[in-house]
Structure 1
Amino acid sequence: MINHDSIVALATPSGAGAIAIIRISGAEAISIGNSVFKSIKGKDLTKQKTHTLHLGHIVDDAKTLDEVLVSLFKGPNSYTGEDTIEISCHGSTYIQQQIIQLLLRKGCRMADAGEFTLRAFLNGKLDLSQAEAVADLISSDNEASHQIAMQQMRGGFSNEIAKLREELLNFASLIELELDFAEEDVEFADRSQFNDLLNRIEFVLKRLIDSFSVGNVIKNGIPVAIVGEPNVGKSTLLNALLNEERAIVSDIAGTTRDTIEDELVIGGIGFRFIDTAGIRETKDVVESIGIKKTFEKIEQAQLVIYLMDSLKFQVSSESFIVEIEKIKNKYPLKQILIVCNKIDQLNQTELQNIQTELEILNLKQIFLSAKNKEGVEDLKNQLLSFVNTGALRNNETIVTNTRHYDSLLKALDEIQKVKFGLESNLSSDLMALDIREALYQFGLITGQVTNDELLGNIFANFCIGK
């Protein structure tokens, strides 16, 4: 599957900027680059050392397109494992287009999405999980997702999987050997050691599988729905959290008729806040649609902030408690946080009374004034506490990729079948089938087992220049 033709693409974002980088990789990359590059010192790129920089001009016959800096990397000591050059030119879109078109005329081909990283994988510079981490690193938009992507790109996850696979492979070889001497009825694999290994593999797999719930929300952000009755300050709270006038605020009940979403990074974790229409009985058709969407957003959210007006709660506390109980019972798996707004209009005794009445719900409570931004930082800290960041702080391996998660689940299932077979004294040939399947699932993660369709699906999600 490895193509050795030379590919070219813009490695920096499209559009005008101070500089742009055009990347070429392939067997003829250096000679093609040399054919359009005129060094200010008359250098021949084909005769230069790897990892060197060269100043000069890109010329199209007698026409000079731009003054550039060329970075030279000779394979296998390059990102792709092939000869690679990167042309740093001025960031005019016209200059970018002219240089790329010139390189295409000289024999390059436009790179497919992710083809540079695909070549790095095929040439053994990265395993498949590391290659996927490159895409995650590019798309990371907060500290936590960046930290996880960096760990995986450096091989933290793949090393852990590779070690388990190697140990299992060693025992698999002994089991397979037993099949060759089936008539002699001999055992080459120590069953007690094999059982210890299976227990250890099962433990690690379960830990990695459990980490996906944390990794998934860190990678994609934690959806938080802000719900409650009309005119309790949901839009004001969203604006206070974001520190900008994102949502329209008025004293008219039902002002927010559609959901409004925005993101905020708290403690390195991304939260996606959804301001919803107020929940109430209404004959307004448009508002009714908004309320219907509110319940849809609660369904999608991982965390629900139930915001209420503390003054109204004093008057009709029972109706509020009934409404919260309804949401709690309808969405039993959702984390619900009660936020009491407008505390600036209450005294300490009134606040304590509200707190006492809410204890029956057995839910976390925060008291604040969204209008005065009082207690907003306490709310942020409480939101962060809902996220299990222990694994992140301890620099443990965290799974964020759905493909990896699926393979881990299947590998765990096969390991448990092997354990059952070992405990039931099943024949070696039956256990060998399950061991092979477990090894296959491990291989899918790191790319030791792969196919063109799988690679196509993975690298199709990359940007062109990577």
Structure 2
Amino acid sequence: MISAVQTDPIVAVSTPSGMGGIAVVRLSGKGADRVIGKCWKGVSLDGIASHSAHLGKVLLEDGSVLDEVVLTFFKGPRSFTGEDVFEISCHGSRWIQRELVNLLVRHGARAAAPGEFTQRAFMNGRMDLAQAEGVIDLISASSKASHRMAMRQANGRFTVYLDNLRDRLIEFASLLELELDFSEEEVEFADRKRLRDLADELLGVLRRLAASYSTGKSLKDGVPVVIAGAPNAGKSTLLNQLLEEEKAIVSDVPGTTRDIIEDTCEVNGILFRFIDTAGLRDTADIVERIGIERAEDRLSRASIILWLLDTTGDTDNQLKEILNRVGELPDASHLLVCNKVDLANNCESEKYSPAEAGQGESLCGAAAESLFGKETAHLFDACMSISASEGYGIDELKGIMTSLACKEYNPDTDIILTNGRHYAAILRGAEALSRARAALDTGLSADFIAQDVRETLHHLATLTGTISTPDLLASIFSRFCIGK
């Protein structure tokens, strides 16, 4: 665990491990200028201007040149860590990186612990805890949506949002505390109706934040989309079409896919985790049965399920099997996708035209309606027709999936929880505020209500690190890679 009072110079490679054209070695802390000065040949470091870059050489103890580098200096507190920081851009040779770090250690620096640079930024007031965790998400962002969410957290928008919440709660608490000062006189400074309205408003905000976690986690890790249906419905063909590569083996033999095939792909700025599954049917084949059991497990954890209906086969039995399962999976969004419409007798290729998502219609509306009827459409978030082999309707399908992935939350504008620690704190805060709200209805005295409001404020304060423990900090910053 890193001590909060350490200011000694620390050093680490800040670029990804491996060999590249350029690598950056970061040096931060009190006395960092003395450490680098022992091996630097170039402009004098005395009085060097902040945010300036200089070409020079790094020398080994015997006077030989280790590398020609660019030295960039950031004077504290106007630096990432709040301390004096030197960033040395050297050539990307692994040997040069390793030897440069070792050289600086021999000259008085210490190898940085994971996340120590960011922890020092937090300790020195350069960022709060929520922003620091945003840096972790920013580094690991794998899509436009996850990048946008991480940026809002790292640049402090989440903190501003929380501060506004806390200010409203402090207003609530101050009125109650004022009553406590005059409790013997039985004076109510806080209008109970106003307090109830304020509590309802804040509870709504906290509950919406908590509800956003499911969406945020999916957007961050990849929205799980399960492709399900009868054997030979075209699930593997659709997977290949969505991924735009031949990921799964495709054949006319039913039961070709016997295990889970999974891969990720960014669609319209959102990372999707597409999962191809074994065809759902009764079978005596032990291996295929295991594949079907795994498919059922993935269905129970899916955010979106694409139910493929083979329009060239027995649609009545297929639809009956699908409908039996839809009701058992209430947490997922369900799309009924009529596949192989280019081969079905009741569809003609010239009828293909995009339809609005979510209207209970298909790309081939009249034909699809004859297959499953209007009474079935309302069970699904959308119904549409495609040809996975020919690519008809795939762009429209992607558009519908994008809408369902976000639902009522917009990753470009809304504050969305992506961190399990934040989710737990918001839930606990909402529970405490719910107790305060209930106490207002039952007429409890201000001291009981104030206690629950103070607890809500406590949980919100843990999000930004206003209240923290050494164990919490150690847990958070240990998730960083060394050099960050």
TM-score normalised by the chain length of structure 1: 0.93
Confirm or deny that 1:373 pairs with 2:391: yes
Q: Alpha carbon RMSD of aligned pairs, Å?
A: 2.0
The alpha carbon displacement at 1:117 in A equals 0.9
Quote the Cα distance in structure 2 between the aligned partners of 1:133 and 1:340. 41
Q: Does 1:20 align with 2:18?
A: no
Cα–Cα, structure 1 residues 420 and 253, in superposed 2: closer, same or farther, change >3 Å? closer
User: Equivalent residues in 2 for 1:131-142 (5 A)?
Assistant: 131-142=132-143
Distance 1:388 1:189 in 2: 40
- Aligned residue for 2:50? 50
In the alignment, residue 117 of structure 2 is paired with which amino acid?
A: F
Q: Which residue of 2 aligns with 1:447?
A: 465
**What do residues 335-357 of structure 1 show as CA deviations (whole Å, max 9, x unaligned)?**
22122222221345586444323
SS for the counterpart of 1:399 is: coil
C-alpha separation between the residues in 2 aligned to 1:280 and 1:435?
54
Q: Is residue 25 of structure 2 the alignment partner of residue 29 of structure 1?
A: no
Distance in 2 between residues matched to 1:457 and 1:393, nearest whole Å: 27
> Structure 2 unaligned runs (5+)?
349-363
Instruction: Mark the CA change 1:388 to 1:289 in structure 2 (over 3 Å): closer, same or farther.
Output: same
Q: Please give the alpha-carbon distance, in whole angstroms, between the structure 2 residues aligned to 1:54 and 1:390.
A: 50
SS in 2 for 1:344: coil
Match 1:355 to one of 369, 377, 382: 369
Q: Does the CA-based 8 Å contact 1:31-1:45 persist in structure 2?
A: no
Distance 1:138 1:125, change over 3 A: same
Q: Are the equivalent residues in 2 in contact too, given 1:2–1:119 (CA < 8 A)? A: no
Superposed CA offset, 1:46-96 (max 9, x none): 421211111101111212110000110111110111111110000111110
1:301 counterpart SS class: coil
> How many angstroms apart in 2 are the aligned matches of 1:228 and 1:337?
11
Query: Take 2:145 and 2:436, find their aligned partners in 1: how far apart are those partners?
Result: 36
> Cα offset for 1:426?
2.0
- SS of residue matched to 2:327: helix
Matches within 5 A, 1:171-186: 171-186=172-187
Q: Aligned letter for 1:356?
A: S
Counterparts of residues 54-93 of structure 1 (less than 5 Å): 54-61=54-61, 62-93=63-94
**Equivalent AA in structure 1 for residue 47 of structure 2:** K
SS in structure 2 of the partner of residue 261 of structure 1: strand
1:197 is aligned to 2:198: yes
| Equivalent residue number for residue 275 of structure 2 | 274
Per-residue deviation, 1:366: 2.1
**1:318 aligned to 295, 316, 319, which one?**
316
Amino acid at match of 1:386: L
Q: CA, structure 1 residues 394+221, in 2 after alignment: closer, same or farther (shift >3 Å)?
A: closer
Quick one: structure 1 residues 347 and 419, their matched pair in 2 at CA, closer, same or farther if it must change by over 3 Å?
same
Write the deviation string for residues 260-289 of structure 1: whole angstroms up to 9, x where unpaired. 111121111111101111222333322222
Counterpart secondary structure, 1:87: strand
1:206 maps to which residue? 207
Partners of 2:74 and 2:85 within 8 A in 1: yes
Q: Could you say what secondary structure the match of 1:386 adopts? A: helix
* C-alpha distance in 1 between matches for 2:407 and 2:113: 37
> 1:207 deviation in Å?
2.7
Q: Distance in 2 between matches of 1:456 and 1:344?
A: 58
Inter-CA distance 287–394: structure 2 relative to 1 (3 Å threshold): closer
Counterpart CA distance in 2 for 1:177 and 1:355 is 65
Distance 2:297 2:123 in 1: 44
> Contact (CA 8 Å) 2:433, 2:456: kept in 1 or not?
yes
Q: Could you say which residue in structure 2 is the equivalent of 1:4?
A: 7
- With 405-414 and 10-19 compared, the bigger mean Cα shift is at 405-414
Residues 75 and 81, structure 1, Cα contact 8 Å, conserved in 2: yes
**Alignment equivalent of 1:407, drawn from 422, 425, 430:** 425
- Structure 1 equivalent of residue 122 of structure 2: 121
Report percent identity of matched pairs: 44
| Residues paired across the two proteins, number | 460
- Could you say which residue in structure 1 is the equivalent of 2:249? 248
**Counterpart-to-counterpart distance in 2, 1:77 and 1:263:** 40
CA apart distance, 1:19: 0.1
Asked whether the equivalents of residues 368 and 385 of structure 2 are also in contact (C-alpha less than 8 Å), the reply is no
Corresponding position of 1:334? 332
For 1:123 and 1:188, the matched residues in 2 are separated by: 40
Please say if 1:106 is aligned against 2:120.
Answer: no
What is the CA deviation profile of residues 423-443 of structure 1, one whole-angstrom value per residue up to 9, with x for unaligned ones? 333222222211221110110
What residue in structure 1 maps to residue 354 of structure 2?
Answer: none
Q: Deviations over 1:125-151 (max 9, x none)?
A: 111111111111111111111111111
Deviation at 1:252, TM superposition (A): 2.3
Q: What displacement does 1:23 show? A: 0.7
Q: Quick one: structure 1 residues 267 and 259, their matched pair in 2 at CA, closer, same or farther if it must change by over 3 Å?
A: same
More displaced, 343-352 or 404-413? Answer: 343-352
Q: Secondary structure at the match of 1:250?
A: coil
Q: 1:141 to 1:419 in 2, by over 3 A?
A: same
CA distance in 1, matches of 2:60, 2:191: 70
Could you say which residue in structure 1 is the equivalent of 2:303?
Answer: 302
3-state DSSP class of the match of 2:466? coil
